[in-house]
Copies of this chain bind each other. A is one copy, B any other.
Amino acid sequence: MREPTREGVLRAAEKIAALLPPTPVLPVEIGGQIVWAKAECLQPIGVFKIRGAWHRLSDLSEKERARGVIGVSSGNHAQGVAWAARRLGIKAAIVMPRDAPRVKLERVRAMGAEIVLYERPGEDRDAIARALAEERGATLVHPYGDPWVIEGQGSAGIELAAQLEVLEGLGAGGPPERIVTCCGGGGLAAGLALACPDAELITVEPEGWDDVARSLASGTIQSVGPNPPPTACDALQTPATWPINFAVLNGRARGVAVSEAEVRAAQRFAFAQLRLVLEPGGAAALAALLSGKVAADGRTAVLLTGGNTDAESYAAVLAEAG
């Protein structure tokens, strides 16, 4: 498999600029500092995953398009693949866990994709997807272990840097000096590393699912333990990063972990201060800043990666004493 490149990120950014409005960068005060929040939850599918999926699928040949694509996803990448496939007239099947949020399953189905369910503990989703792709001659689009997907997600960093350059009124007027991002398998993080080579990069994962943080600390790929704790951050429940991501991130980023309570507090902060709906996995990076685990000084940007949550779970988070 080819390596992702900065040139690929720039090409993806051009393709995406022709298709989608840039997501806004909102100034928000955290601990007396202005932090720049990139609201990827405002993408048409509510999550940044539309970027990588579009870059990958729109680069497929006519022959490849005719044979279809297979996605693997807890629900957000699934929506990206389904959205891009529908727009390009490509048949898509997505391997999804049976316990994926109902709202994500429904939306993938509504966009016309086929869903192949698996049981999260026990079954190997990548093996299921590989077998399906071989059987159908279809192209497998992995949620993070794919150079196009990494480059596509990185387009968020190109947009961010361009937006901060022109935002002088509230004190930006330069490239991001620190980027804090939610992290599952490391697709977005690797893309951001390629997009913004001079920015400090910090990945944020839920406690007990901080395999990327431990991988970055140790210099070799680590997996989550055999019995990870339950987490509301379904989008960040990845067992391990892939070599293609780690090759970009190793020596380049560092990782921190946030608690479930810190994530919920960040969801409430986004509700009250930003009027944005964030899903738990989309609020993890904000949680790291609000909890003080990551400093907010300098020109700090934070990725608000997704907002696909159901009304019931969200109302429960809001009801909790903040």
- Whether B169 lies near A18 (C-beta < 8 A) is yes
**If A275-B46, A275-B307, A318-B314 touch, does A23 touch B24 (CB 8 Å cutoff)?**
yes
**B interface footprint on A265-284 (CB within 8 Å = 1, 0 otherwise):** 00010011011111000000
Across-interface contacts of A322 in B (CB, < 8 A): 311
Give the interface size bracket for A toward B. Answer: 35 or more
Within the complex, which residue of B21, B23, B42 is in contact with A274, where a contact is CB–CB below 8 Å? B42
Write the chain B residue with the least CB distance to A277: B275
What is the CA–CA distance of A291 and B24 in the complex, to the nearest angstrom? 28
- Whether B276 lies near A275 (C-beta < 8 A) is yes
Across-interface contacts of A168 in B (CB, < 8 A): 18
For the complex formed by this chain, how many copies does it contain in all? Answer: 2
Verify if A60 is at the interface (C-beta below 8 Å from B): no
Chain B nearest CB, measured from A15 CB (Å): 10
Chain B nearest CB, measured from A76 CB (Å): 12
Across-interface contacts of A27 in B (CB, < 8 A): 21, 44
Write the chain B residue with the least CB distance to A168: B18
Verify if A1 is at the interface (C-beta below 8 Å from B): no
**B interface footprint on A3-44 (CB within 8 Å = 1, 0 otherwise):** 000000000000000111111111100000000000101101
Given contacts A20-B170, A268-B311, A275-B278, 4 further A-B contacts (CB under 8 A): A24-B24, A24-B42, A26-B44, A312-B319
